[in-house]
Amino acid sequence: MTTPAAVAARIQQQPREAAPFVKWAGGKGRLLSQLRPLLPPGIARMRHVEPFVGGGALFFARIPERALLTDINPALLATYAAIRNDVQKVIQGLRGLASHHSKESYYRVRERYNQGHRLSASKRAAMFIYLNKTCFNGLHRVNRKGEFNVPVGSYENPKILNEEGLYAASHALQSADLRCTDFESLLENAKPGDFIYFDPPYEPVSETASFTSYAPGGFSQKDQTRLRDVYRALDRRGCKLMLSNSDVPFIRELYQHFQIDTVASPRAINCNAKKRGKVSEVVVRNY
């Protein structure tokens, strides 16, 4: 039996390489090579803040000494906390789920996950990761009741458990402050000199291209404008700001007074495989 001391030692001994442990719509793993040159000078001395952490690709690529990671999705943040606080139990739960995976098992787990208010934090986190790795396209979607409702994916041999990856993620998260909160909370929590990376649900490029239903209510143009107002306030405060979004006129107009660069991003999630290709995105900076 692995002792708590042995688990703690293993976490601390992990090499400083980590990667997202969940698939997430809009994940920035494939854009890191284009984002890194756009980071501000002296970033190593800054607190790393992500108010839409999602899969956390930029955070895991950097592993900063200080970080504040937030998201409005309570299940996602609870999973991050479980990985940070009790990764061994999450791994144990995930190992059991992986060994019994099937289409029928997926729907049983999904039903239990949606009804399992009495599940321990580690078991719920294991189920969250299992569903994420085996659902259709790794898409996180909830209905109006807040229930996860994505169907099973058609994978022959999905990679459900990456034990070393989870230990590495736990190592990276040890110094992170995790909070389930809206981005407006930055008006209370952000400090001059913070580096803040905004990766919100993107403004749709067409009427059928919206993937913003990660939480009940989605993310409207009113929310995009509210975010722009927070961006402006934090700019005046002296924070270093970087934001990703769709390259559409509405977003360019919102941020017309800031530096706007474009990057080419692969479209990873689309029901039509022929429409999965590179698309232009904007990166907005105040430096």
Alpha helices in the chain (DSSP H): 4-13, 32-35, 57-62, 74-99, 103-115, 121-134, 163-173, 186-189, 221-237, 249-254
What are 180's strand-pairing partners? 71
For the chain, the 3-state helix, strand and coil shares in percent, each to the nearest 5, are 45, 15, 40
Other CB atoms within 10 A of residue 86 CB? 18
Q: Which is more confident, 38 or 118?
A: 38
How far is 52 from 68, CA to CA, in rounded Å? 11
Would you say residue 2 has pLDDT above 50? Answer: yes
Q: What angle do CA 115, 118, 121 make, to 5 degrees?
A: 105
Q: In the chain, pLDDT over 90 holds for what percent of residues?
A: 78
Would you say residue 8 has pLDDT above 60? Answer: no
- pLDDT score for 254: 98
Amino acid, single-letter form, for residue 150: V
- In 3D space, the residue among 51, 56, 72, 28 whose CA is nearest the CA of residue 218 turns out to be 72
- pLDDT score for 212: 45
Q: What average pLDDT does this structure show over 211-238?
A: 85
Contact between residue 54 and residue 24 where contact means Cβ atoms under 8 Å apart: yes
Q: Which is more confident, 210 or 105?
A: 105
SS3 256: coil
What dotted CATH number matches 4-203+211-285? 3.40.50.150
Mean model confidence pLDDT for the chain: 90
Q: Determine if residue 100 is left, alpha or beta; phi over 0 gives left, psi from -120 to 50 gives alpha, anything else beta.
A: alpha
How far is 163 from 168, CA to CA, in rounded Å? 9
Which pair of structure tokens corresponds to residue 226?
A: 């509210």
How far is 241 from 116, CA to CA, in rounded Å? 39
- pLDDT score for 278: 80
pLDDT, tens only, 47-99: 999 999 999 999 999 999 999 999 999 999 999 999 999 999 999 999 999 99
Would you say residue 273 has pLDDT above 90? Answer: no
pLDDT, tens only, 113-137: 999 878 999 999 999 999 999 999 9
Q: What average pLDDT does this structure show over 229-250?
A: 98
26-55 burial, b at 16+ Cβ within 10 Å, e below that, comes to bbbbebeebbeeebeeeeeebbbbbbbbbb
How far is 204 from 33, CA to CA, in rounded Å? 24
Give the pairing of strands 67-71 and 176-180. parallel
Would you say residue 11 has pLDDT above 80? Answer: no
pLDDT, tens only, 154-196: 998 999 999 999 999 999 999 999 999 999 999 999 999 999 9
Would you say residue 5 has pLDDT above 70? Answer: no
Q: Which is more confident, 270 or 281?
A: 281
Q: Kindly state the DSSP code that residue 41 receives in the 8-state scheme.
A: T
Q: Is the pTM of this model over 0.85?
A: yes
